[in-house]
Amino acid sequence: MKKYVCEPCGYIYDPTDGDPDGGIDPGTAFEDIPDDWVCPVCGVGKEEFSVLEE
């Protein structure tokens, strides 16, 4: 599963960790996150995220 980076603030969504505070269980692929989820750091929507190139 790929990591995604929030373009505005740099937060990295790691599917291994999920976002438990935002209701996303560890192990959830970014693609499977509901569309109303927002970046836990800066509050923008999923559309502002892009695949993290490592």
Cα three-residue angle 45-33-19, rounded to 5 degrees: 85
Is residue 8 within the footprint of other proteins (CB under 8 A)?
Answer: yes
Is residue 20 within the footprint of other proteins (CB under 8 A)?
Answer: no
Please say which residue, 8 or 26, places its beta carbon nearer to other proteins: 8
Is residue 9 within the footprint of other proteins (CB under 8 A)?
Answer: yes
**Which residue type occupies 21?**
D
Q: Which helix (H) or strand (E) holds 49?
A: strand 49-51
Is residue 47 within the footprint of other proteins (CB under 8 A)?
Answer: no
- For the CB of residue 21, give the shortest distance to other proteins in the complex, in Å: 7
Q: What is the three-class DSSP state of 47? A: helix
